[in-house]
């Protein structure tokens, strides 16, 4: 027997994974500090026990989705705001309130589990007693607290007051529908690669895998799952038969009207869903150039194409500076999915409500106008440019395109005669939740074969 066996040393016991509610509170705290959930949540999930991950995701998303309401309740439960250094206690408080108001977790379990999460995890010794006190007060006075919390737009609709106001100004007849739709978890919609299989055949594969789904009513490539699942459960996902993509985003490839032999520019390509769909729609393009300003984002495009088994030229480049990268050959089609406020996908990314600022709209509109002007110079006469955003704000959509048309006599609106959305100036707007889709704007412009820009 080796001497090591007699050394008397014991193997260090394995440390238990951190408490699920504590980890969810860390995600919430990070978002309250200005970090996006797409950054905060994945890092936290790697530290969690696999069995805890669904609960962490549920509480993190729910807490951020309802944060303005939860905060309005929390403010009534404390005598004064917590200090900045007590962010962890604040986040755990919101997690506890979220469990009581919006989950099926029994009230006593919501209180005890949140209090337990604070023991040993929060340095403030007063935290467990504080959490126990405010959560038990909420149980006793729930109706009165909620009544007061929902007396303001922020509490009633769980959006910041300024965002409620801007949405109401933009959509006076529809703002309540939009605000309520933003608070509903979105469906998991997938895109079937129709050059590899049919939607009907793929629905059979889903059924055989025990996944209930139905065809989307408007988009031929889209299938809506009854319940979200891990992508690893989707038949053919790793081989590129399907991708996860909202039905509204799937409209882009069809609207661009790509044909064999076309040179196509996907001008703001990340994360690559629309890039892949263009290649599925027309595999015989002469070229598809996918451009993005950020190297890390372009890597996501390349990873997407790799999974799909598709190929395109990719380039880190600024569309506003074509002199730095363009070879002088004009494109027959340009997809211009410009950076925007993403106010049409809040139901999918609820942290947008907390991270976006009112001043962003004007700044984004200025940038969008510049991108559109520069991209237009790259389009061949007779070519089509599809301008799109996942925003519902007119100053990012119809107003941008209208201003462009006023200064370019070689541009005309190519009408979108579609059975979805509503006409908004030169384009069509889908509002969140309509036709089970995210909020998107589309406008298609054709470049004249005669005339020139003013």
Percent helix, percent strand, percent coil in the chain, to nearest 5: 45, 15, 40
Confirm if 117 and 109 have CB atoms less than 8 A apart. no
Partners of 412 in the β-ladder: 446
Tokens matching residue 161: 């007051």
User: Which residue in this structure is represented by tokens 């991209």?
Assistant: 375
Confirm if 322 and 378 have CB atoms less than 8 A apart. yes
Confirm if 57 and 64 have CB atoms less than 8 A apart. no
The neighbour count for residue 86, using CB atoms within 10 Å, is: 18
Is residue 320 part of the annotated active site? The answer reads no
Question: C-alpha angle 387/389/393, rounded to 5°?
Answer: 115
Q: Among 337, 283, 270, which Cα is nearest to 309's?
A: 283
Q: Is 20 exposed, middle or buried (0-12, 13-18, 19+ CB in 10 A)?
A: buried
Coil, helix or strand at residue 208: helix
Residue 428's region, left for phi above 0, alpha for psi from -120 to 50, else beta, is beta
What does the alpha-carbon distance between residue 223 and residue 56 come to, in Å, rounded to a whole number? 27
What does the alpha-carbon distance between residue 408 and residue 406 come to, in Å, rounded to a whole number? 6
DSSP secondary structure code for residue 414 in this structure:
-
User: Which residue in this structure is represented by tokens 């372009």?
Assistant: 298
Cβ-based neighbours of 178, under 8 Å, separated by 6 or more: 167, 171, 392, 431, 432, 433, 439
Catalytic residue (choose from 268, 340, 390, 424): 390
Catalytic positions, please?
390
């Amino acid at each position: 027997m080796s001497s090591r066996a007699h050394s008397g040393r014991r193997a260090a016991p394995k440390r238990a994974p951190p408490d699920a509610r504590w980890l969810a509170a860390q995600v919430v705290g990070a978002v309250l500090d200005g970090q996006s959930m797409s950054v905060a949540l994945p890092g936290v999930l790697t530290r969690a026990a696999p069995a805890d991950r669904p609960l962490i995701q549920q509480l993190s998303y729910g807490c951020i989705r309802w944060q303005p309401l939860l905060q309005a309740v929390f403010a009534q439960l404390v005598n004064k705001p917590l200090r900045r250094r007590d962010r962890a206690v604040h986040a755990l408080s919101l997690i506890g309130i979220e469990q009581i108001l919006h989950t099926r977790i029994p009230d006593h379990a919501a209180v005890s589990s949140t209090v337990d999460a604070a023991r040993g995890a929060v340095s403030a010794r007063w935290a467990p007693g504080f959490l126990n006190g405010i959560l038990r007060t909420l149980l006793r006075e729930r109706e009165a607290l909620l009544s007061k919390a929902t007396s303001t737009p922020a509490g009633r609709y769980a959006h910041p007051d300024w965002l409620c106001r801007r949405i109401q100004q933009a959509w006076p007849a529809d703002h309540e529908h939009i605000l309520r739709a933003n608070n509903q978890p979105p469906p998991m919609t997938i895109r079937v690669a129709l050059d590899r299989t049919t939607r009907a055949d793929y629905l059979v594969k889903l059924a055989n895998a025990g996944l209930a789904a139905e065809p989307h009513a408007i988009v031929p490539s889209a299938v809506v799952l009854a319940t979200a699942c891990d992508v690893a459960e989707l038949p053919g996902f790793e081989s590129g038969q399907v991708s996860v993509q909202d039905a509204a985003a799937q409209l882009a490839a069809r609207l661009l009207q790509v044909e064999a032999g076309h040179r196509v520019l996907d001008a703001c390509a990340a994360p690559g869903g629309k890039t892949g769909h263009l290649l599925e729609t027309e595999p015989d393009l002469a070229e598809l150039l996918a451009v993005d300003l950020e190297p890390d984002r372009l890597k996501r495009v390349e990873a997407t194409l790799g999974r799909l088994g598709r190929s395109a030229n990719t380039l880190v480049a600024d569309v506003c500076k074509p002199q730095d990268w363009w070879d002088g050959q004009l494109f027959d089609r340009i997809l211009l999915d410009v950076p925007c406020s993403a106010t049409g996908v809040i139901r999918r990314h609820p942290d947008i409500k907390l991270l976006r600022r009112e001043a962003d709209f004007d700044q984004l509109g200025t940038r969008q106008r510049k991108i559109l002007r520069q991209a237009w110079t790259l389009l061949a006469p007779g070519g089509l440019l599809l301008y799109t955003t996942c925003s519902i704000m007119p100053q990012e959509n119809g107003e941008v395109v209208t201003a462009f048309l006023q200064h370019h006599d070689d541009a005309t609106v190519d009408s979108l005669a579609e059975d979805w959305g509503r006409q908004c100036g030169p384009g069509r707007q889908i509002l969140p939740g309509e036709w089970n889709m995210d909020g998107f704007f589309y406008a298609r412009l054709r470049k004249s074969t005669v005339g020139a820009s003013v």
